């Protein structure tokens, strides 16, 4: 479906994607991937309210980065790129985080603009995506990539060969909206209405029109978690999720179920990571509202995302 360029790293490269909720690591001689790691550290805890990275959130993040530094050294990595997204863009004490990363990895984190974040997510989503279930035909274009993070959501509309001509980052994400608007367990109808209104307002202002998409790819933890629910998986399984084509109506039903569930009920679902249990309601609502603005009947789910885009940027 997507032409993969022949460049290959002579030595392993390492990509780190530090988001609002999760820090992820990829190491490999691309296109071969030696390992992927993910730690839910909730770096963006309280940032929307206080404007600062909380001390305990920094402690969790630095503990994960210490682990990653050891893995990077063990694999003889040649080049490292550390990209930080929404939480560090929004925090007053970002310098403290930068100093901690530099002390552990010897490099400064790059605080991505929303547009660059979107473009890397697009590149990661479309490169090497193989559809499962016997679907061998290329996706019709243009393709809309939906990337829902903890603090922001990116919509990217583009074509495989030319890259994304339209990309936009909205300040709505699973952690941000949950902390701001969804305090109930489960959220009350009034809270849900307020959350939907906030999402719709952001989409109204978004210059990327979901209705223009001929196909949709969904990436990142909110969407892959919803996909696991649609598939009825007893536990999260990356291999069973990547490349699956899901009926939009089935996705909407799963979103409704997750939003209506209590925290304890979500925790009992084997496919929902404990670190995502409380905020999946807001993230799922974002997915639902975006899909309602499309004209597609299905969505393709990719486990390749911005992390892969960061890694490929080191060798292409």
pLDDT tens string 101-112: 999 999 999 988
Residue 1 has pLDDT above 80, yes or no: no
Residues in the chain: 316
Give me the residue spans of the domains in the chain. Answer: 13-115, 129-306
Count Cβ atoms within 10 A of the Cβ of residue 267 and give its class: 0-12 exposed, 13-18 middle, 19 or more buried: middle
Helix (H, G, I), strand (E, B) or coil at 240: helix
Total Cβ atoms within 10 A of residue 209: 14
Classify domain 129-306 at the CATH topology level.
Answer: Nucleotidyltransferase; domain 5 (3.30.420)
Paired tokens of 290: 């975006």
Total Cβ atoms within 10 A of residue 74: 10
Query: Which option is the CATH number for 13-115: 3.30.420.40, 3.40.50.300, 2.60.410.10, 3.40.920.10?
Result: 3.30.420.40
Helix (H, G, I), strand (E, B) or coil at 302: strand
pTM: 0.84
Residue 158 Rama label (left phi>0; alpha psi -120 to 50; beta): beta
| 122-181 pLDDT per residue, tens | 888 887 674 434 445 678 889 999 999 888 898 999 986 666 678 888 989 998 999 999
From the list 164, 184, 160, the residue with the least C-alpha distance to 263 is 184
The reply to whether 129-306 shares the fold of 13-115 is yes
């Amino acid at each position: 479906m997507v032409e993969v360029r022949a460049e290959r790293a002579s030595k392993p490269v390492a990509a780190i994607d530090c988001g609002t909720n999760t820090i992820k690591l990829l190491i490999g001689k691309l296109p071969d991937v030696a390992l992927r790691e993910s730690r839910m550290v909730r770096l963006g805890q309280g940032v929307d309210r206080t404007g600062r990275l909380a001390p305990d959130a920094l402690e969790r993040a630095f503990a994960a980065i210490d682990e990653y530094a050891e893995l990077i050294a063990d694999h003889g990595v040649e080049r490292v790129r550390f990209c930080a997204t929404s939480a560090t863009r929004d925090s007053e004490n970002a310098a403290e985080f930068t100093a901690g990363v530099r002390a552990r990895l010897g490099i400064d984190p790059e605080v991505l603009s929303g547009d660059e974040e979107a473009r890397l997510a697009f590149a990661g989503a479309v490169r090497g995506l193989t559809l499962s279930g016997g679907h061998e035909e290329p996706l019709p274009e243009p393709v809309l990539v939906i990337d829902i993070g903890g603090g922001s959501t990116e919509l990217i509309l583009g074509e495989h060969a030319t890259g994304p001509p339209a990309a936009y980052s909205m300040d709505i994400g699973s952690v941000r909206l949950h902390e701001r608007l969804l305090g109930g367990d489960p959220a009350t109808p009034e809270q849900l209405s307020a959350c939907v209104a906030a999402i719709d307002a952001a989409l109204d202002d978004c210059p990327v029109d979901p209705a223009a998409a001929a196909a949709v790819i969904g990436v990142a933890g909110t969407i892959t978690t919803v996909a696991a629910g649609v598939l009825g998986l007893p536990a999260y399984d990356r291999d069973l999720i990547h490349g699956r084509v899901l009926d939009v109506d089935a996705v909407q039903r799963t979103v409704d179920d997750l939003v209506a569930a209590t925290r304890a009920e979500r925790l009992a679902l084997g496919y929902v990571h404990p670190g995502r249990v409380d905020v999946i309601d807001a993230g799922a609502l974002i997915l639902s509202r975006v899909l309602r603005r499309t004209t597609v009947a299905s969505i393709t789910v990719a486990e390749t995302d911005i992390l892969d885009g960061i890694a490929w940027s080191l060798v292409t």
